[in-house]
Amino acid sequence: MPRTARRKDPGGIYHVMGRSLTEIDLFQSDEDKEYFLDLLKRYKDKTKSKILGYCLMTNHYHIHVDPCGYDISKFMQCLNLAYVRYINRKYKRKGPLFDDRFNSKIINSDNYNLVVSAYIHLNPKDIKGYRGKEFDYPYSSMGIYLGKNKDNRGIIDSDFLLSCINEKYKKKAIRTYVEFICDTRNDGIDLKIEKYEKEFENGKFHYIIPLMIFMEIIIIKECITKVKLLILFYCNLTRFFTTIRAIIIFGTYFLLTLKTFFRFIKNDPCNN
């Protein structure tokens, strides 16, 4: 039975996934992951593509890529073939490494791009010690977006994704992006990405969380936080002034008592 033709869009952005055979890990060491990133940089530059994100797991990888008009199949064939040659040479093995050809999904909206990015960056959540700390995973581009890790290879193009958030300042866009990822994790990212893919395949693509609504939610949260801080400040200020007032009253009472005491001593007949 012939394979289904891969769906392509000359101007499209893609979510690309590759998985190894069951009996072998795709990345058997950190050195393997480093080499794969070197290859990703090489073919990114060679094809003048843009890499918007990545995450390398033990038996699979995710790449968020804009080929900028270059054939996505050729890009991935070059990348995968070069990596297979490296693995077979290093571990003295023969034959295929991947369980099938790479999987790719066309992304056709800002919302879909953001959800795919969140999905990729949340992949480490099932690794022990990284649940809620996915941003610390070293072989994900999330640390680069946050400025925790340096992009020494110059792989990631973060401008496009942050521009989807429609924030004037980059730091605020990054903060909103992080909040979006955290909210997405809590809402069930796997179900969300699956729904996007099904709707796209059926030609009935709808927003799951319209970005403007999400931005309004973020703004409301910020306003609530600011109101809470103002209330807390007012309470603390009120408590402060109440304390100062009590100190002044006590001090005044003490001084009056002291004054009365000395007057009594001065007018005491026994002292005459």
pLDDT of residue 209: 46
Quick check: helix, strand or coil at residue 194? helix
CA 114, CA 268: separation in Å to the nearest integer? 87
The closest of 58, 56, 53, 68 to 28, measured between CA atoms, is 58
CATH class of 13-209: alpha beta
120-172 tens-digit pLDDT: 999 998 888 888 888 899 999 999 998 888 999 999 999 888 887 767 778 88
103-107 β-sheet, strand order: 50-56, 60-66, 13-19, 103-107
Mean pLDDT score, 2-16? 69
Name the band, by pLDDT with cuts 50, 70 and 90, for residue 221: low
Please, which residues bridge with residue 19 across strands? 60
CA 263, CA 252: separation in Å to the nearest integer? 16
Name the band, by pLDDT with cuts 50, 70 and 90, for residue 205: very low
* Residues 79 and 40: beta-carbon distance below 8 Å: yes
pLDDT of residue 195: 56
Domain range list for the chain: 13-209, 230-271
High-pLDDT (> 70) share of the chain, %: 77
